[in-house]
């Protein structure tokens, strides 16, 4: 299937490693020009070079950015428009892996840590959306995908559950407002995700991967590339019928019914 993405222009925050890197790679493979943003300049440069080389000279622009800062996000979008001539796609992914806090101990969660989590992930996603909306609306087409997490659907790490539930509300709010302007907005919820040598959501040995796989409907941990495939479809023109949705990409959770 031709996803119709060739020549589109995208921003992927948290794009230097893990799921963000996999998403950037999948987009580049479809002919998308991609800006990858993160705070670690050296890691960004290495990733950009690897992605461009792997896609036979695809356009990958590394931009140092902190989604916890209004000014930094404004500069990120302005740099994207300057480098690529515009922007069509935003993938919000930058966040502290797992979130703050520990399972079953609300009182142990420092409010400063929770506020930092919320600022980077929820408000960071909002900042980036606010900056790209005028560009998407002017051209009458755009895609925003917010990477949340399955903690939105179950309690566990306190900060993770709170911030990912916030992502769901943000996603639906944006989708309802922006739909008439040709812009779709969806959330993708990975669970534990295997990211191998590029870093990411969880670092486990083979025995631990197998143990966690027993809790997944497909019997194994999904890979970052598999999550990226879901995102790539959602940001494409062929996914126009889907907006305001929260889509799990964790291999299936046995038991609960979501409808």
Domain presence at residue 66: yes
Mapping DSSP to helix (H, G, I), strand (E, B) and coil, where does residue 142 land? strand
More confident site: 259 or 188: 188
Q: Please, which residues have CB within 8 angstroms of residue 236's CB and are 6 or more apart in sequence?
A: 3, 4, 5, 30, 143
Confidence at 100, pLDDT banded by 50, 70, 90:
low
pLDDT at residue 180 in the model:
98
More confident site: 158 or 180: 180
Domain presence at residue 133: yes
Count structural domains, the chain: 1
Q: What is the dihedral of CA 19, 24, 26, 29, to 10 degrees?
A: -160
Domain presence at residue 257: no
Domain presence at residue 255: no
Average pLDDT, the chain: 90
Domain presence at residue 203: yes
State yes or no: pLDDT of 199 exceeds 50.
Answer: no
Domain presence at residue 259: no
Write out the residue range of the structural domain in which residue 71 sits.
9-249
More confident site: 253 or 99: 253
More confident site: 151 or 169: 169
- CA 192, CA 80: separation in Å to the nearest integer? 31
Domain CATH code at residue 75: 3.40.50.720
pTM listed for this prediction: 0.93
Domain presence at residue 132: yes
Cα angle 236, 238, 241; round to 5 = 105
Domain presence at residue 3: no
């Amino acid at each position: 299937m031709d996803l119709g993405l060739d020549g589109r222009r995208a921003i992927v925050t948290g794009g230097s490693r893990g799921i963000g890197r996999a998403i950037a790679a999948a987009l580049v493979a479809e002919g998308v020009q991609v800006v990858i943003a993160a705070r670690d300049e050296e890691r960004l440069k290495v990733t950009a070079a690897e992605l461009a080389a792997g896609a036979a000279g695809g356009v990958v622009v590394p931009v140092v950015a902190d989604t916890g800062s209004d000014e930094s996000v404004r500069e990120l979008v302005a740099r994207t428009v300057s480098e690529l001539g515009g922007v069509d796609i935003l993938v919000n992914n930058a966040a502290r892996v797992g979130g703050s806090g520990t399972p079953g101990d609300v009182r142990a969660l420092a409010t400063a840590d929770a506020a930092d989590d919320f600022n980077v992930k929820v408000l960071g996603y909002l900042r980036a959306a606010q900056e790209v909306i005028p560009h998407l609306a002017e051209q009458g087409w755009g895609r925003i995908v917010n990477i949340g997490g399955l903690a939105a659907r179950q309690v566990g790490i306190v900060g993770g559950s709170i911030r990912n539930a916030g992502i769901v509300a943000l996603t639906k709010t944006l989708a309802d407002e922006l739909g008439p302007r040709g812009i779709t907005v969806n959330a993708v919820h990975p669970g534990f995700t295997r990211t191998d040598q590029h870093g990411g959501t969880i670092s486990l040995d083979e025995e631990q991967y197998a143990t966690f796989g027993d809790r997944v409907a497909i019997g194994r941990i999904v890979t970052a590339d598999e999550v990226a495939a879901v995102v790539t479809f959602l940001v494409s023109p062929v996914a126009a019928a889907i907006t305001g949705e929260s889509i799990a990409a964790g291999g299936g959770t046995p038991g609960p019914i979501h409808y």
